[in-house]
Amino acid sequence: MSQGLEETKTYRLDKTVYDLVRVRDNQPGFIAGQNSKFVVVDSQSINDAYIIRFIKIYDADKLKSTIRDDEEYKLARASKAGIPIIKSVRPSHVGPVSDPLIVPFKYRTDDDSLSGEATIGYYAGFRTEFKIPGSNTRLPMSPFIAGGLSQINVATNGETDNKTGVTLAVGTGCWYPGT
């Protein structure tokens, strides 16, 4: 992660924050519960704070968050003890995703065989973070669909011929949120 929070990026709080200041009237003392998600609206105009807007609000254990999703808040760049806020947040990777995809193996349903023939294609999906029950841990996952072109070795009458085929796939990917 860079030295500071980036504008338009979405983050999740690793711990409850007690000292938010509402921007419109400079009123202090707002509370944001652990795991609440926010987007950085402005990272430049205030030297000691970021201006943020919450997009998902969670209440911490036995503590009610006092923030609202239709307000902007100042989030201090460092705690009163001097700890940078970047150590108390992590990027939140939720939303649509797509990229090239290489599938190195083929499973053929006609003869239940597995072979090492590569396909290059494209996938599209949606990243989300599922909460593991009984903990504050979230498991990032990405259900997706994919399609592509492939070269397939086809055996006919003892001879092997190389054919072009279309590959379709569905699946779920997991990723480590620190990457």
Q: Which of 110, 119, 111 has its CA nearest to residue 148?
A: 119
For residue 39, is it within any domain? yes
Residue 167 structural domain? 95-174
For residue 74, is it within any domain? yes
Residues 149 and 102 in one domain: yes
Task: Compute how many other C-beta atoms are within 10 angstroms of the C-beta atom of residue 125.
Answer: 19
Residues 77 and 99 in one domain: no
Residues 76 and 109 in one domain: no
Residues 147 and 87 in one domain: no
Q: What is the pLDDT of residues 130-172, one digit of tens each?
A: 777 877 667 778 899 988 887 777 778 888 888 888 878 888 8
For residue 2, is it within any domain? no
Helix (H, G, I), strand (E, B) or coil at 50: strand
Q: What is the pLDDT of residues 17-74, one digit of tens each?
A: 999 999 999 999 999 998 899 999 999 988 899 999 999 898 876 788 999 999 999 9
* 91, 125, 146 - which closes a domain: 91
For residue 179, is it within any domain? no
Distance CA 177, CA 36 (A): 16
Alpha carbon 95 to its chain centroid, in Å, reads 7
Domain count, the chain: 2
**Confidence (pTM):** 0.63
Helix (H, G, I), strand (E, B) or coil at 12: strand
Residues 81 and 67 in one domain: yes
* 50, 70, 91 - which closes a domain: 91
Residues 85 and 128 in one domain: no
Could you tell me the sign of the dihedral formed by the alpha carbons of 50, 51, 56, 59, in that order? positive
Instruction: Specify whether the CB–CB gap between 127 and 139 falls below 8 A.
Output: no
For residue 5, is it within any domain? no
For residue 1, is it within any domain? no
